[in-house]
Amino acid sequence: MIESRLVVERPGFRLDVELDVAAGEVVALLGPNGAGKTTALRALAGLVPVTGGHIRLDGEPIHDTPADRRPVGMVFQDYLLFPHLSALDNVAFGPRCHGTPKRRARLLAAEWLERVGLAGYAAARPHELSGGQAQRVALARALAVRPRMLLLDEPLAALDAHTRLDIRARLHHHLRDFDGAAVLVTHDPLDAMVLADRLVVVEDGAVVQQGPPPAVARHPRTEYVARLVGLNLYRGEADGHAVRLEGITLNTAESHRGPVFLAFPPTAVALYRTRPDGTPRNLWEAVIGGVERHGDHARVLLGGPLEASADVTAAAVAELDLRPGERVWAALKATETHAYPA
Ligand SMILES: Nc1ncnc2c1ncn2[C@@H]1O[C@H](COP(=O)(O)OP(=O)(O)OP(=O)(O)O)[C@@H](O)[C@H]1O
């Protein structure tokens, strides 16, 4: 179990996060570039000096313990395998550093290579391994020391999409079996949702939101989180089923009073060239700011009284001749909005 408050000060940047991770729990640190995720992870590992706070691992203070004495397993984005050592010796390196005799360390390493499905690759050098295999060797090396905390920094980022799927599933399996505290740094919401029990969102060196993945996805509290999970998000003032935003008042399914967040998916917005009849409760005129390809559909960026994204089919873009600068009518069903206290 990790109990920590990590304070790191640098010119122009200050990290101050409280991070507690239970034994057997996987926490994903998510956040934009430069938010401080890697700094937090490296502070836990003892690789960057903390300027304040505390770190306790299973109740014992470790913030003064040098990095090589902390019971930590680490996996980096580029794996950092020793190029001149075989896969087996790369994995055995960890236990050797912790004082395990050579024979025993190599036995342990062989066991771990088998567990990650690479029993046949003991003699291979890192350059003979694929990206996915190298990642599995790095994970075996991290786990072979039986760490009390496992730290993974963008462990899937260097893999192509297909390998990533396979390695994500394998990693999920190993994380489930790991009984220490695990912290994962990632940019990828899908990795975070699949692998983590809890998300901790860091922006500008501070925790802005945390919770189980479905709760965070359903109730984003910052612009960054809303974009991550693909929702339009606003702050407003609720008066029953009406929420007053800056430029417009929207009707919502839920009834609230006072400050709220209001969220809806881009797919909930329908666009029309002329004002539609039988007006839905929420209808406004918008100016198209841009049109982007988004997989097999198009995302239309709307300006006007309400900045919002609307997802439409590629056919609709052609049919309605949706181009930047054009005016359209946007309709949103109250039942597709979601309001919650801010
Ligand atoms: N070794 C370093 N020396 C000085 N400043 C650094 C160092 N590493 C990172 N920084 C700065 O500290 C801040 C936090 O960086 P950090 O790498 O922890 O962010 P991050 O959330 O992991 O971002 P990314 O997702 O881009 O890796 C940034 O402003 C960064 O420029």
The Cα 76–Cα 45 span in angstroms is 12
Instruction: Tell how far the Cα of 332 is from the centroid of ligand 1, in angstroms.
Output: 40
| Atom 4 of ligand 1: nearest residue by CA position | 10
**Residue 257 and residue 213 share a domain:** no
Instruction: Tell how far the Cα of 38 is from the centroid of ligand 1, in angstroms.
Output: 7
What are the start-end ranges of the H helices in 6-119? Answer: 37-45, 87-97, 102-115
**pLDDT over threshold 80, residue 92:** yes
User: Tens digits of per-residue pLDDT, 172-198?
Assistant: 999 999 999 999 999 888 889 889 999
End position of a domain, from candidates 227, 242, 261:
227
User: Tens digits of per-residue pLDDT, 106-121?
Assistant: 999 999 999 999 999 9
| Atom 8 of ligand 1: nearest residue by CA position | 39
User: Tens digits of per-residue pLDDT, 64-80?
Assistant: 999 988 999 999 887 78
Average pLDDT over residues 302-313: 93
What's 24's domain CATH number?
A: 3.40.50.300
End position of a domain, from candidates 227, 256, 277:
227
CA dihedral 164, 172, 221, 293 (to 10 degrees): 20
What is the value of pTM for the model shown?
Answer: 0.86
The fraction of the chain above a pLDDT of 90, given in percent, is 77
- Res 68: pLDDT: 86
Instruction: Establish whether residue 37 lines the binding site of ligand 1, counting it when its CB lies within 6 angstroms of any ligand atom.
Output: yes
Atom of ligand 1 nearest to the CA of 38: 22
Instruction: Tell how far the Cα of 211 is from the centroid of ligand 1, in angstroms.
Output: 24
**Residue 199 and residue 236 share a domain:** no
Length of the chain: 342
**Residue 101 and residue 34 share a domain:** yes
Total domains, the chain: 2
End position of a domain, from candidates 195, 227, 259:
227
Least confident interval from 76-85, 204-213, 332-341 = 76-85
Instruction: Establish whether residue 34 lines the binding site of ligand 1, counting it when its CB lies within 6 angstroms of any ligand atom.
Output: yes
Pocket test for ligand 1, best of 6, 13, 152 (most atoms within 8 A of CB): 13
Atom of ligand 1 nearest to the CA of 36: 18
Enclosing domain of residue 107: 2-227
**Residue 220 and residue 235 share a domain:** no
Instruction: Tell how far the Cα of 135 is from the centroid of ligand 1, in angstroms.
Output: 23
Answer with the residue of higher pLDDT: 244 or 193: 244
User: Tens digits of per-residue pLDDT, 23-50?
Assistant: 999 999 999 999 999 999 999 999 999 9
Instruction: Tell how far the Cα of 103 is from the centroid of ligand 1, in angstroms.
Output: 40
**Residue 192 and residue 53 share a domain:** yes
Least confident interval from 9-18, 76-85, 240-249, 308-317 = 76-85
**Residue 211 and residue 270 share a domain:** no
**Residue 129 and residue 20 share a domain:** yes
Average pLDDT over residues 98-103: 90
- Res 279: pLDDT: 66
DSSP string, 33-48: TTSSHHHHHHHHHTSS
The Cα 16–Cα 1 span in angstroms is 19
Helices 131-143 and 161-177: crossing angle, nearest 10°? 20
The Cα 25–Cα 39 span in angstroms is 20
Average pLDDT over residues 315-333: 92
